[in-house]
């Protein structure tokens, strides 16, 4: 396993990246962080972040994750019970409204890459009517076997219509190791973005590794690989809640993957930004800085 990511090609294409907040969650500490959390409050507000990408050559727009839908009562009952664990959440604008208020018609988003099908990432897919949905086979299969056939499933069976969904299987032989990642797939064929198998959180969880400059800068759109930045710095570890257990289906795999992200993000002279779906610190820093990095502004590349 190599820790280095591939060098840029000649005239390398890349993406500009903008954050969007599509809902705010109240995170209970006991569910997420253990270790040395004495300075961490019992609950904190964290955003449901999505990331809007614009291709440097074609101008194509890709959205990574879709936040929370406004009509959460339409979620399966098991997902609604999970919603209740968060105690409170706020949705002022969904992802489509954020895209529109930044000056882009949501119908112009051509691909919607979904890290996993939890309710705070899936949003309402019908809000991006012309986007091809991109998910892993694990996510697709969890949904197809879901609610109502399985009344306990938090995933709706009709979530992904086969007509508009591209299903990617990390084990079908077309994915290959890339730098520190075991399995990656070149999404557009030009080396500008790679779908990365990111195991641990839930079956089928994927990340998107995107180039953010022509000369070697990157971002990892990391979804729920880690729920707080302190898990990357090592200031906290993954919690196991006395009643609800661990938020990851496989804690060891989640820890191993966090180790990869940590090495990329915290290396001296790192040119890799790791963007977590629920990074409260990044969100608060942006809020204090006139929403730097939030659509229609863009995140500066390292």
The CB-of-15 to Zn ion minimum distance in angstroms stands at 22
Number of residues that bind Zn ion (CB under 5 A): 2
Buried b (16+ CB within 10 A) or exposed e, 101-130: eeebebeebebbbbbbbbbbbbbbbebbee
**Cβ closer to Zn ion: 122 or 217?**
122
Nearer to Zn ion, 32 or 140 (CB): 32
Q: How many CA atoms lie within 13 A of 126 on its CB side?
A: 5
- For residue 95, the surrounding DSSP H or E stretch is helix 95-101
Tell me the window of 86-94, 149-157, 179-187, 219-227 that interacts with Zn ion (CB under 5 A): 219-227
Q: Which residues pair with 112 in a beta bridge?
A: 63, 133
Closest approach, Cβ 89 to Zn ion, in A, equals 11
Q: Choose the stretch contacting Zn ion; rule: CB under 5 A; options: 92-100, 117-125, 141-149, 246-254.
A: 117-125
Which residue lies nearer to Zn ion by CB, 179 or 224? Answer: 224
The least distance separating Zn ion from the CB of residue 241, rounded to whole angstroms, comes to: 15
Whichever of 22 and 260 has its CB closer to Zn ion, that residue is 22
Distance of closest approach, residue 115 Cβ to Zn ion, in angstroms:
8
Is the previous residue joined to 283 through a cis bond, with omega within 30 degrees of 0? no
Quick one: which of 120, 142, 204, 265 contacts Zn ion (CB under 5 A)? 120
State phi, psi for 113 to the nearest 5 degrees. Answer: -90, 125
| Distance between CA atoms of residues 75 and 258, nearest Å | 29
Calpha distance 186→188 (Å, rounded):
6
Q: Candidates 199, 224, 283, 294: give the one binding Zn ion (CB under 5 A).
A: 224
Judged by CB under 5 A, the stretch of 30-38, 105-113, 220-228, 237-245 that binds Zn ion is 220-228
H-helix segments, 234-297: 251-266, 280-287
* C-beta closer to Zn ion: residue 241 or 271: 241
Residue 278 CB, nearest approach to Zn ion (Å): 6
The 3-state DSSP class for residue 183 equals strand
| β pairing state of 132-136 and 165-168 | parallel
Chain centroid to CA 21: 12
Complex with Zn ion: residue 82 or 262, whichever CB lies closer:
82
Minimum CB distance to Zn ion, residue 247 (Å): 9
Any contact of residue 65 with Zn ion (CB under 5 A)?
Answer: no
Query: What is the binding site for Zn ion (CB under 5 A)?
Result: 120, 224
């Amino acid at each position: 396993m190599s820790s280095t990511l591939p060098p840029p090609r000649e005239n390398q294409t890349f993406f500009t990246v903008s954050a969007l907040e599509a809902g705010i969650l109240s995170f209970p500490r006991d569910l997420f962080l253990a270790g040395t959390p004495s300075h961490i409050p019992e609950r904190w507000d964290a955003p449901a972040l999505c990331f809007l990408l614009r291709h440097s050559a074609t101008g194509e727009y890709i959205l990574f994750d879709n936040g929370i839908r406004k009509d959460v009562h339409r979620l399966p009952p098991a997902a609604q019970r999970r919603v209740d664990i968060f105690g409170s959440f706020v949705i002022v604008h969904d992802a489509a409204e954020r895209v529109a208020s930044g000056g882009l018609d949501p119908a112009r988003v051509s691909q919607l890459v979904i890290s996993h099908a939890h309710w705070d990432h899936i949003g309402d897919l019908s809000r991006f009517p012309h986007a091809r949905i991109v998910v892993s086979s694990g996510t697709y299969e969890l949904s197809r076997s879901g609610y109502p056939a399985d009344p306990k499933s938090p995933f709706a069976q009709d979530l992904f219509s086969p007509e508009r969904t591209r299903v990617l299987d990390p084990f079908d032989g077309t994915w290959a190791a890339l730098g520190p990642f075991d399995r990656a797939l070149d999404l557009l064929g030009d080396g500008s973005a790679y779908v990365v198998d990111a195991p641990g959180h839930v079956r089928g969880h994927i990340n998107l590794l995107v180039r953010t400059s022509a000369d070697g800068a990157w971002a990892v759109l990391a979804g729920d690989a880690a729920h707080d930045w302190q898990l990357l710095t090592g200031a906290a570890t993954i919690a196991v809640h006395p009643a609800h257990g661990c938020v990851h289906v496989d804690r060891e795999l989640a820890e191993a993957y966090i180790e990869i992200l940590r090495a990329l993000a915290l290396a001296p002279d790192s040119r890799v930004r790791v963007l977590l779906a629920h990074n409260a610190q990044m969100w608060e820093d942006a809020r204090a800085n006139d929403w730097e990095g939030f659509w229609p502004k863009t995140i500066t590349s390292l």
